[in-house]
Chain A
Amino acid sequence: MQPIKILTANIDKPNSTSVDTYVASGGYEDARKALTTMTPDQVVQLVKDSELRGRGGAGFPTGAKWGFVPKNAPRPTYLLCNADESEPGTFKDRVLIEKDPHLLIEGMIIAGYAISSNPMAYIYIRGEFHYGATVLEKALQEARARGFLGKGIFGSNFDFDITVARGAGAYICGEETGLIESIEGHRGQPRVKPPFPAVVGAFGGPTVVQNVETLSCVPLIVKNGADWFKSFGSPKNTGPKLYCVSGAVKKPGVYEFPMGVNLKELIYEHCGGVTGDRKLKAVIPGGGSAPMLLPEEIDIPLNFDALMKAGSMLGSAGIIVIDESMCIVDAAWRLAKFFAHESCGQCTPCREGTNWIETVMDRIERGGGIPADIDLLKDMPENIAGRSLCALGDAACGPALSSINKFTDEFRYHIEHKSCLPGTKRYRRLDRPSHAH
């Protein structure tokens, strides 16, 4: 399969962030088309027909989500763009934000129109993306100056503007109700569902939260039609898709393919194979929350359904490659530490559980593990996953449980020999205290 340039069509152009460059290649014409020739319901139907699924992690059908928004709700409807890209191994939205911000803005105009959004939408961008936020601010100013945002866009009676809201360093704000809480000025602690955000979300109004890449697909669908979009990928797993490859590969980076490129092909043909031509040990196919795959499991199309069937997930399409030289306990510990740090502390099973996973992994790595730790780790997800308001606890169990199930012998070796498996390497220094949570 050859790489494509559809979502990334503009990113290599000189001055790719300027509105002039974007308009020169037909930019904002799709928003004009939607607002002047289609009804909101027609836009929703078109997106439903395209079978576009959310690119943020859950893969929920986008058109269906928009269809849930009640008409004539007592409070204004909100469109929020989720640009809180913080899943370990994921860096695709950053490329779109920093290189082609107008594509996202146009997507938001169309999405806002489709759900009859109130005149103010928000892009919630993670605080660390300071540069991305400045790019977006500038792009928004340009769009306002051209009349693409503001009152009565394209002569319609639709008013729409966008504000960039910066996060402040909390992974949990990428969870949609955590994001809503954060936009409202609270700690980003997820809400009880139901009610789902589409009914009661930000400021009490119906709310649609969509990932950057998802919204960037929308103008392309309006331009080329649902059938064109479905010509990429396979049924229910459609469209162009950005894949982020990082870790032990020769050519890491963002790659665009039709949905469902083969994982093995991606690593060995397009990314040049494993660093130093070492042997592959494991692959995390969908960001830090996704269960690991073994080398013999990677002959698989990278789409939502195939990975779910294989016991993992596409998630945010953040592919992290781990080579044979890495100690798997150390790798699993690092992800466990991430989730322990990022648990918002609201639900006890997740708050305590994520910390316990980290603690037990750490003591195994340090040579203080006991044989019962293996079963303890295998048993822990039972008490965490599905027992909290959001999916963070489940996410923490993904890499932890898969690593202990697939590399049980390596864990056992640590416990018996109090050292890493020969030929594998620990990257951190054990004498340096790990940063406090």
Chain B
Amino acid sequence: MAELHPDNPYAKDRFADPAKSVEFPPEAKKKFDYILTRYPSKEAALLPTLHLVQETWGWISPEAVHYVSSLLDLSPANVFGVVSFYNMYNQKPVGKYHLQVCTNLSCMIRNAYDIYDDLCDKLKIEPGQTTPDGLFTVTEVECLGSCGTAPVVQVNNDYHEEMDVQKMESLLEKLK
């Protein structure tokens, strides 16, 4: 059979490896138990649990999908459906610093595309890719709700506001 494109949902690495299994470390397990007390059904805890998975491992692996589905009594397909619906869940590992550049209209008017293009050029990667040293991933994202201080770049959880190409380059140096 021909090799499948890596983004294809039927690509090999999209299936859980039965030899690998994952489990929350005790600290995360405690958080998970708390999450369950806050919702009237197990299923409703799915989004916060997936956030917890991503906090713990940086992305949501097929093994983690199966783990979450067993924790919440859902089918893996159901969990996968939710993971792939929401932008913030990384379906592949990302770099240590996930650089998310908002390019929506308000940021665009304030030259967000210059930042975005400069990042891709400097790091020699295409949008969505990670640098070979595993440090940076660049993605273009939709409105981050920070239009008054545009342009904005979200690095992991933190907003960096009123950015420009130079500020971005010095931030990049600091992170390296």
**Neighbouring B residues of A54 by C-beta, 8 Å:** none
With A and B bound together, what is the CA distance between A90 and B104 in angstroms? 12
Q: Which of A185, A322, A323, A335 contacts B43 (CB 8 A)?
A: A185
What is the chain A residue whose CB lies nearest that of B104? A88
Q: Which of the candidate stretches B12-20, B86-94, B168-176 sits at the interface with the other chain?
A: B86-94
Q: A342–B41 contact, CB under 8 A?
A: no
**Neighbouring A residues of B110 by C-beta, 8 Å:** 247
What is the chain B residue whose CB lies nearest that of A188? B85
**With A88-B147, A128-B145, A168-B87 as given contacts, are A320 and B120 in contact (CB-CB < 8 Å)?**
no
List the count of A-B residue pairs having beta carbons below 8 Å apart.
Answer: 168
Count of A interface residues, CB-CB < 8 Å:
64
**Neighbouring B residues of A334 by C-beta, 8 Å:** 103-105, 108
Q: Which of A90, A186, A323 contacts B145 (CB 8 A)?
A: A90
Q: B150–A252 contact, CB under 8 A?
A: yes
**With A163-B38, A170-B86, A254-B148 as given contacts, are A428 and B108 in contact (CB-CB < 8 Å)?**
yes
**Neighbouring A residues of B111 by C-beta, 8 Å:** 427
Q: Mark A315-332, 1 if CB is under 8 A from B, else 0.
A: 000101111001000010
Q: Does B99 lie at the interface of the complex (its beta carbon under 8 Å from any beta carbon of A)?
A: no
With A and B bound together, what is the CA distance between A170 and B88 in angstroms? 8
A346 to chain B, nearest CB (A): 11
Q: Does B46 lie at the interface of the complex (its beta carbon under 8 Å from any beta carbon of A)?
A: yes
A408 to chain B, nearest CB (A): 20
Tell me the residues in window 71-110 of chain A with beta carbons closer than 8 Å to chain B beta carbons: 76, 85-91, 93-94
Q: Which residues of B contact A (CB under 8 A)?
A: 38-41, 43-48, 50-51, 72, 81-82, 85-89, 103-106, 108-113, 116-117, 120, 126-128, 139-150, 154, 157-159
With A and B bound together, what is the CA distance between A244 and B149 in angstroms? 11
**With A168-B86, A170-B85, A186-B82 as given contacts, are A338 and B104 in contact (CB-CB < 8 Å)?**
yes
**Neighbouring B residues of A120 by C-beta, 8 Å:** 38, 40
**With A247-B106, A320-B106 as given contacts, are A128 and B41 in contact (CB-CB < 8 Å)?**
no
Q: Does A113 lie at the interface of the complex (its beta carbon under 8 Å from any beta carbon of B)?
A: no
**Neighbouring B residues of A188 by C-beta, 8 Å:** 85-86
What is the chain B residue whose CB lies nearest that of A344? B85
Q: B142–A168 contact, CB under 8 A?
A: no
Tell me the residues in window 296-338 of chain A with beta carbons closer than 8 Å to chain B beta carbons: 318, 320-323, 326, 331, 334-335, 338
A404 to chain B, nearest CB (A): 16
B154 to chain A, nearest CB (A): 6
**With A168-B51, A428-B113 as given contacts, are A89 and B147 in contact (CB-CB < 8 Å)?**
yes
